Amino acid sequence: MRAETDDISAEEVGDLLAELSLTFLLRLCPELEHLSAQENQRIYAAMHAKVDTAISGMLDDFLMNPNEKSHALSLGALTIAMAGVQELRCIIGSDVESTQPVKPITVKRQDLLH
Does the pLDDT of residue 78 top 90, yes or no? yes
- The pTM assigned to this predicted structure is 0.72
pLDDT confidence of residue 3: 47
pLDDT of residue 100: 45
Q: What is the pLDDT of residue 32?
A: 87
**Chain segment 8-65, per-residue pLDDT in tens:** 788 888 888 999 999 999 999 988 888 999 999 999 999 999 999 999 999 998 888 8
Longest dimension (CA), the chain: 45
Strand, coil or helix: 25:
helix
Q: What pLDDT sits at residue 101?
A: 47
Q: What is the pLDDT of residues 84-112, one digit of tens each?
A: 999 999 988 854 444 444 444 455 555 54
The pLDDT score that the predictor gives to residue 76 is 93
How far CA 85 is from CA of 21, 49, 55, in Å, comes to: 11, 13, 18
- Exposed/middle/buried for residue 39 (C-beta within 10 Å: 0-12, 13-18, 19+): middle
Q: How far is CA 16 from the centre of its chain?
A: 12
Over range 65-74, report the average pLDDT.
87
The answer to whether residues 40 and 32 touch, using CB atoms and an 8 Å cutoff, is yes
Asked if residue 62 lies in contact with residue 72, where contact means CB atoms within 8 angstroms, the answer is yes
Please give the Cα distance from 17 to 10 (Å, whole number): 10
